[in-house]
Chain A
Amino acid sequence: MTSAALRSRAWKLLEMVTTPLLPSDYLDLVSPLRAGADLRGRIEAVHPETADAATIVIRPGRGWRGHTAGQYVRIGADVDGRRLWRAYSITSPTNRQDGRVTITVKAIPDGKVSNHLVRRAKPGTLVQLDQPTGDFVLPEAKPAKVLYLTAGSGITPVMGMLRDIDFDDVVMVHSAPQPQDVIFRNELHDLVAAKKLRLTEVHTDTDGVLDIARLDELVPDWAERETWACGPAGLLDAAEEFWSERGVRERLHTERFRPGIVAAGDGGEVTFSATGKTVEADGATPLLDIGEEAGVLMPSGCRMGICFGCVTPLKAGAVRDLRTGEITEAEPGVLIQTCVSAAAGPCDIER
């Protein structure tokens, strides 16, 4: 018998010992970060960055596979006793010696998770983690000239890249309301002093929102640069239009934190067939929220349609994609993203 087969037989025996629980239910009591456990992390420190942003240092569990600079991680934090999942960019370099990772979170008004992490999270707390993901990353071959176009907390994935790689020629245009709102400001200025970065800060409280046409003046050679842009939808929409008009759209890489959600009509009776719950839904509320309100255990992720952590079979009826208005009808094997789908008439969700 191979050692793997032996191990699996031993595990089976252990399951008989612990039934109806699993051996992992007991191991979690003593070693929640061990290899083989559900992926979790322990918050080890919270460092304030600005008045409303903080960097959270997390020791990930043994199953953590590491990230690529620019990627994000989904974090499940228990806020007021309720587990909520959000996605945050990783801001630590990939080769950090102590194996810890950091995320940098900006508290947004009424943001449940962001305010919790920035203002109330305590060292020692466990959070749930997913493996890092996202394609807002650099190509294998380091580009010769780089432009980072960022605003607000859009700087966080970019900081992960700046900390990770020494660029030959990198320019950053960053918008924030005031100087003291610029996250990582000291570190950015250190990079500038060391001639590793050229930085333009736009302070929107005094300068107004960045007019994308000003790029011609701020970064005359912007069209030759490989560009990564991250920030509010307005900035990214403007950038996409600007790059397209100049015929260099392929040079622009964007990361959107929140999708623009379009108003939708309809709605209907939603059946969660695995749990046997039926509720009325309007045509504008994501099915994820509808299910959670009804007490159905819904898988969830970024809640903005990017991570596919919430996909669920649609067994009957039709749903509307809240971002595009596109209608999806039930067919065998059809999965929908419940976080950006609303009922378009009666439907049946397998949960």
Chain B
Amino acid sequence: MTAIDPTAHLTAEQIEELGRELDAIRDEVIASRGEKDAAYIRTVISAQRKLELVSRGVLLFSFFPPAWLLGTAGLSVAKIMDNMEIGHNILHGQWDWMRDPKIHSTTWEWDHVSPADQWKHSHNELHHTYTNVIGKDNDLGYGIMRVDEDQKWHPFHLGQPLWNFLNACFFEYGIAAYDLELGKNLHKRRRNTPEFRARAKAVGRKIRKQVLKDYVIHPLLSGPSFLTTLAATFTANLVRNIWTHSVIMCGHFPEGVQTFERRSIKGETRGQWYLRQMMGSANISGSRAMHFMTGNLSHQIEHHLFPDLPSNRYAEVAVKVRALFEKYELEYVTGPLPKQVFSAWRKVFRLSLPNKKPKVDAPDRDQELVAA
């Protein structure tokens, strides 16, 4: 929550007009989805599978250092592709329109310890609906960090740079715990509900399978390369975790991104919902390769406006969305990856300390949006 509302200059009519213009952009993409898009995701999936196969093959000889390097690099990229451009986007239903049961949000499972259906609930339903609403969107700080001046400070927050670093290293486990709402469930003694136990069991099963594959089966298959393959898969998982964590931090944490109060979303219109997504997200600028490796989450603003449009179309959508930002005089938060990562980390450090001047009289956004 910023003291000055950056959308205060917009009238209610303007906000609804903005919503209609965004709907038109969305409709245009939906009407033009077709063969080329389908070919795109199939090509990416096939390339990812081949890269993973070849990398695992190379790692069978990982006692030989160049093979270790090559295999580890390949496997890291394959895991990133699986999680980002493929898994994240398929699980959003971006490719459901193809009606291919093998590439569908209801059947897809990814190389990640959080089972797809649990992740879909916490991410697609909670985070994407309540984007950046403090107390509703747990993605804000993942329940372990203070990310806004208006959040109450606690001595626990002194350690948040360390928690954030550990979370980055073991990000997939962090996400699994987060999807389970582990903290809340352990605190409130809700862990004994059969519903929670079933979900915890599903996570346990997934972790067992993933760990067995990466740290037992593949090293065993490598025979004399057992230890080096083990180190390689560990490294690939670490690289994937740090990369995805960094990309995701850039989506909502950098300076300039707005957060919202719970009461501000009461009775929110479509235009206001769009506006919240626009002000609550940030992009990463860069090359096509960069966009690909982030699963096009570098187009986070566009993704939050249209979470179910195919990711390969965000780049063209971004041009039109950016023009709307300019038209309505709103700040389009974007920047190169290092700058955005630095900005997000600086915030993590800054907010680990209590505020010098806690903001007491934050304006009521809802009032302003309607009254303006």
Q: Which residues of A contact B (CB under 8 A)?
A: 13, 16-21, 25-26, 29, 78, 80-84, 274-275, 292, 295-298
Contacts and interface: CB of A to CB of B under 8 A. Distances in A.
Nearest to B41: A81
A26 B101 CA distance: 16
A214 to B, nearest CB: 45
B209 A16 contact: yes
A82 B111 contact: no
B118 interface: no
A16 B98 contact: no
B96 A295 contact: yes
A81 B209 contact: no
8 contacts: A19-B213, A20-B111, A25-B102, A80-B34, A81-B33, A81-B98, A83-B100, A292-B99
Which 10 residue pairs of A and B lie closest in terms of their CB atoms, listed nearest first? A81-B38, A20-B109, A80-B34, A83-B99, A81-B35, A295-B96, A19-B209, A81-B34, A297-B104, A19-B213
Interface string B10-51: 000000000000000000000001111111000000100110
B240 to A, nearest CB: 15
Contacts of A292: 99
B93 interface: yes
Nearest to A17: B217
B257 to A, nearest CB: 29
Interface in B36-92: 36-39, 46, 49-50, 53
A294 to B, nearest CB: 10
A16 B213 contact: yes
Contacts of A84: 99
Given A17-B218, A80-B34, 14 more contacts: A16-B212, A17-B213, A18-B213, A21-B109, A78-B35, A78-B38, A81-B36, A82-B38, A83-B100, A295-B96, A295-B308, A296-B106, A297-B107, A298-B99
A13 B49 CA distance: 19
B210 interface: yes
B216 to A, nearest CB: 9
Contacts of A16: 209, 212-213, 217
Nearest to A295: B96
Contacts, number: 67
Contacts of A20: 109-111, 206, 209-210
B96 A297 contact: yes
A298 B101 CA distance: 9
B323 interface: no
Query: Which secondary structure dominates where chain B touches chain A?
Result: helix
B97 interface: yes
Instruction: Give the interface centre of A82, A274, A296 by most chain B CB atoms within 10 Å.
Output: A82
Interface size range of chain B in the complex: 20 to 34
A296 B104 CA distance: 9
Contacts of A295: 93, 96-97, 308
Given A16-B212, A19-B210, A275-B106, A82 B217 contact: no
Nearest to A299: B101
B41 to A, nearest CB: 9
B50 to A, nearest CB: 7
B259 to A, nearest CB: 28
B227 interface: no
B221 interface: yes
A17 B219 CA distance: 11
Contacts of A18: 213
Nearest to B308: A295
Given A17-B221, A19-B209, A20-B109, A297 B99 contact: yes
Nearest to A16: B217
A295 B99 CA distance: 8
A29 B52 CA distance: 13
A16 B206 CA distance: 11
A178 B107 CA distance: 49
A83 B34 CA distance: 11
B328 to A, nearest CB: 30
A21 B104 CA distance: 14
Contacts of B36: 81
Contacts of B50: 29
B247 to A, nearest CB: 21
A83 B98 contact: yes
A39 B111 CA distance: 27
A28 to B, nearest CB: 8
A292 B110 CA distance: 24
Nearest to A13: B217
Given A297-B99, A297-B106, A81 B37 contact: yes
A80 B35 contact: yes
Contact of A25 (B34, B49, B98, B101): B49
Given A20-B110, A78-B35, A26 B217 contact: no
A3 to B, nearest CB: 23
A25 B45 CA distance: 10
Contacts of A78: 35, 38, 98, 100
Contacts of A298: 99
Contacts of B93: 295
B46 A29 contact: yes
B81 to A, nearest CB: 13
A79 to B, nearest CB: 8
Nearest to A276: B125
B299 to A, nearest CB: 21
Contacts of B221: 17
Interface string B189-213: 0000000000000000010011011
A13 B217 CA distance: 9
